[in-house]
Amino acid sequence: MKKLLQAAGLSLSLWLAGCATAPSPSSPTSSLPPPPPESAATASPAPGLPAMVPSGPLSPITPADAPSRNVASMQPPADLWERIRGGYAMPDLQSDLVRRQEQWYATRPDYMQRMTDRSRKYLFHIVEELERRRMPSELALLPFIESAFNPQAVSSARAAGMWQFMPGTGRDYDLKQNFFRDDRRNVLASTRAALDYLQRLHGMFGDWHLALAAYNWGEGSVGRAIAANKRRGLGTGYLDLNMPDETRNYVPKLQAVKNIIGNPEQFRADLPVIENHPYFDVVTVDRDIDTALAAKLADVALDDFKALNPQLNRPVILAAGTPQILLPWDNAKVFQRNLAEYSQGRFATWTAWTVPGTMSVAEVARRVGMNEAELRSVNTIPPRMLIKAGSVLVVPRPSNRQEDVASHLADNGQLALAPEQTLRRTTVKAGRKDTVATIARRYRVTPAQLADWNDVGTSAAFKAGQQVIVYVPVRAKAAPRATAKGRVAPAARAKPVVKSRRR
């Protein structure tokens, strides 16, 4: 048995030595043809060796023929412009309209400079999102066309934000629009919604130029234009369709900016260096905090803070509705450190208050202890308007209030206004058992208004026959009465009128 094992070990050693020294298939000294495939399959294993160990000669390995490819450079793009150029994937639009738009932009270097300077805050995030979705990188230039990269831009048609969402389309893509914030201006939310929308449109039309036309003109309009051309036997490409001038020039504008970014030397464009690095970081907010204090804790100018958080409508960030803010990359850690160490007072000096009944601005200001002008400014209330019952306002936060604004208010609060009525002062006699409440109900005013007009409390009672001041709406002026002889009777002299807004 011992001899048998020694013999097996010797056979295995010789076989392994043969493997190590066998000439390679590419060696010029190898002239032996490969054995037929069945030779290895039919060979018998050496006595005493496990069947898994091959005993016949090994077939030489022939390298597969593969086309030679250049190895891609691992060097990262020098700046964000280079990264954008490297991701261009849309077909170029060839048209005289593009040449005209190139000329327009190239002859306005100051305008281009302002746009590109603004874009440095947002471009990296947009490019990252496009690459993650495998979308063409030239779509990152679309806010140049939509808003000149101004996240506060509002069009005459009420489209808002960097991506210019209409109110209805914004709601379709989950962009909240309430008293405290407008997510059409939110950098993260609006970018997500815009790319979702563009992907959907590209899926509908199968063409990026048509998808962009639909983004500007509406998917229904583009669909109808395509159907009309099909009925006439005409082409259905972007340049074939009959469309408004704004949409006709929309893609040429994007193509022109794409060309300028792609070859700035040709157009003598001086592009600012934008590093291929995030401009901002996302910071979680877990408590209500004044916007001015948040900017201070981050060591950021208030205007710069608002440029990164343009969705905020009020001077307070409500954690229940806006749990994240954007801060410049290096300032994010500064904010978190200063927030943890802050001990100089309250984080929020503002809170939300629901108006119990329709009131004038003056009444609300007295109720919450504010100056009327400040109340109008903070809550954006125009002149000659009443605040309707159920509206939500930002008011000073009482010093003894600990809780933050609830999520149902932070997410759904709205300000509803009504035209301020012109009222006429009159007096009425109180009847037996009349109170502020009964007379207010009779004349459809609030008890608070009636009490204010008569300098009494809202629970006061009047004596029978007591004169009570009431302000009632002035009726529409009646048409003059004609006399029997056809002459127009003079109108009765009007009594003095006052506005319902009384100090």
Element (H, E) at 411: helix 407-412
Q: CB of 48 within 8 A of CB of 4?
A: yes
Burial class (CB in 10 A: 0-12, 13-18, 19+), 389: middle
**Whole-angstrom distance, CA of residue 414 vs CA of residue 310:** 18
Helix (H, G, I), strand (E, B) or coil at 196: helix
Which tokens is 133 given? 């979705």
Q: CB of 335 within 8 A of CB of 297?
A: yes
**Whole-angstrom distance, CA of residue 411 vs CA of residue 388:** 19
Q: Which of 102, 138, 146, 363 is catalytic?
A: 146
Tell me which residue of 388, 291, 304, 307 sits closest to 347, measured CA to CA: 291
DSSP alpha helices (H): ranges in 80-186? Answer: 80-86, 96-106, 109-119, 123-133, 142-147, 167-172
Say which DSSP state 491 is in.
Answer: P
Q: Give the Å distances, CA to CA, from 229 to 93, 204, 410, 473.
A: 20, 17, 48, 58
CA atoms 104, 107, 108, 109: torsion sign: positive
374 is catalytic: no
- Listed in sequence order, the residues at least 6 apart from 434 whose beta carbon sits closer than 8 Å to its beta carbon are 461, 462, 464, 468
Q: CB of 342 within 8 A of CB of 484?
A: no
Active site members: 146
